[in-house]
Amino acid sequence: MNSIAYFDHNASTPVHARVLEKMLPFFSVHFGNASSGTHAYGLHAERAVKQARETIAASIGCSSQEIIFTSGSTEAINLGIRGVYEAYASKGREIVTVGSEHKAVLDTCRYLGEKGAKITRLGVDRSGRINPDELEQAVSDKTLLVCIMLANNETGVIQDLKKIAEIVHSKGSILMSDTTQAWGKIPVDIHELGIDICCMSGHKIYGPKGVGMIYARRKNPRVTLSPLIFGGGHERGLRSGTLNVPGIVGLGAAVERLPEMLQHAAVYEKWRDRMEKELIASGKGSVNASGVRLPNTSNLVYAPEKASRLIVKLPEFAFSSGSACTSANPEPSHVLQAMGVPDEEIQHSVRISFGELNTEEQVSSFISALVK
């Protein structure tokens, strides 16, 4: 496996050695249930969860009560959207989102649409960005929630969230942003950006799979969520179910590394720019979104081969033809479709996402393979 260069860090990342080391005792010696506060086993687990929660809160600049642990971003997004929709049912039934969002957002909105919500899906331009004027027109005082991601998983395109938040808040609505791909790749200041609800997933930041969290603002203004899962009342009744202690400890340890992850951004950007430049110069390809985007992500159109063929022809490199989360679904990328990329080009599009497993040599061999 190690001989295959892994260029799919937006799909998932390996658990970092320091993160794994911190998690391991919580699978065996410290296996206690974090809700069993009557004995030392439970108390040890409870303390570890508290510490992870505080680490995450301090790192992203919120209070620990604003964090609810989940099984990942998909669940966090479901809780954010459906939780707001149910909690504010008397205010209105309108939700505004964007056609290039992750399926976790789009499918949750579609589900609510079938239940009677009015869902407005904004378009994006060829660079993958929304038009703030269209947002301004779409949001009314009946809009409960606006869901716009910070960075796109397929193209890396970053939305101007600060401006978006100003518009959303001026209409008295709530802004939820899928921040899953942004953590560790760009600095994320939720207060500066004006985000009311956002999410995080362990496996995108060199932490474990199956754990994540949702942040929901508790003041100025307070955002109320209704739970999706009922049971023992864990996570202040918002997400019942025995806490995944090793996962949460791992998420906390991964978050401690966020500043370290950001230090690599400039290197990834250099590799990415070189790859794109050489591909374009060879006349063999182009870039689907080259504006403001994540430093590690590139969505390329490779003219000589369809993506499915290219992936088979270059087995020594691991990359994807779109998002891993929709790969069970063979339809063309809805993100590229939303940007107006022609179907023929979508079939030739691949996503390369660099990360900590990569070296300059791997990038050079990949460029050679593409260009020659």
From the CB of 313, what's the least distance to ligand PLP, in Å? 25
Segment contacting ligand PLP (CB under 6 A): 84-92, 259-267, 299-307, 323-331?
A: 323-331
From the CB of 43, what's the least distance to ligand PLP, in Å? 29
In whole angstroms, give the CA distance from residue 226 to residue 127: 36
Which residues contact residue 202 at a Cβ distance below 8 angstroms, ignoring those fewer than 6 apart? Answer: 72, 208, 209, 210, 211, 212, 247, 250, 251, 254
Nearer to ligand PLP, 46 or 75 (CB): 75
Binder of ligand PLP out of 55, 97, 108, 153 (CB under 6 A): 153
Which residues contact residue 119 at a Cβ distance below 8 angstroms, ignoring those fewer than 6 apart? Answer: 94, 95, 96, 97, 109, 110, 112, 113
Segment contacting ligand PLP (CB under 6 A): 41-49, 130-138, 176-184, 253-261?
A: 176-184
Which residues contact residue 352 at a Cβ distance below 8 angstroms, ignoring those fewer than 6 apart? Answer: 7, 272, 275, 297, 298, 299, 300, 319, 366
Position 104 contacts ligand PLP (CB under 6 A): yes
Residue 112 backbone dihedrals phi, psi, to 5 degrees: -70, -35
In whole angstroms, give the CA distance from residue 275 to residue 354: 11
3-state secondary structure 262-321: HCCHHHHHHHHHHHHHHHHHCCCEEECCCCCECCCEEEEEECCCCHHHHHHHCCCEECEC
From the CB of 33, what's the least distance to ligand PLP, in Å? 23
Nearer to ligand PLP, 44 or 185 (CB): 185
* Half-sphere exposure at residue 70, Cβ-oriented, CA atoms within 13 angstroms: 26
From the CB of 212, what's the least distance to ligand PLP, in Å? 5
Binder of ligand PLP out of 180, 299, 320, 321 (CB under 6 A): 180
In whole angstroms, give the CA distance from residue 19 to residue 206: 8
From the CB of 288, what's the least distance to ligand PLP, in Å? 16
Residue, CB closest to ligand PLP: 72
* Token pair 């990038």: residue: 363
Position 73 contacts ligand PLP (CB under 6 A): yes
Position 13 contacts ligand PLP (CB under 6 A): no
Burial of residue 110 (CB within 10 Å: 0-12, 13-18, 19+) is: middle
Contact 59, 83 (CB under 8 A): no
Residues 33-62 that bind ligand PLP (CB under 6 A): none
Nearer to ligand PLP, 267 or 325 (CB): 325
Catalytic residue among 62, 147, 199, 325: 325
Position 298 contacts ligand PLP (CB under 6 A): no
From the CB of 148, what's the least distance to ligand PLP, in Å? 12
Say whether 198 is catalytic: no
Q: Which two tokens stand for residue 97?
A: 């989102």
From the CB of 355, what's the least distance to ligand PLP, in Å? 13
Nearer to ligand PLP, 149 or 193 (CB): 149
Position 285 contacts ligand PLP (CB under 6 A): no
Q: Which two tokens stand for residue 150?
A: 């910070």
Residue 344 backbone dihedrals phi, psi, to 5 degrees: -60, -45
Binder of ligand PLP out of 194, 212, 247, 295 (CB under 6 A): 212
The residues pairing with 175 across neighbouring beta strands, listed in sequence order, are 146
Nearer to ligand PLP, 178 or 196 (CB): 178
Intra-chain end-to-end CA distance of the chain, in Å: 24
- For residues 324 to 363, the per-residue mask of contacts with ligand PLP, x marking binding by CB under 6 A and - elsewhere, is xx--------------------------------------
Q: How many residues bind ligand PLP (CB under 6 A)?
A: 15
Q: Tell me which residues touch ligand PLP (CB under 6 A).
A: 72-74, 102, 104, 149, 153, 178, 180-181, 201, 212, 323-325
Would you please indicate which residues are annotated as catalytic (active-site) residues? 325
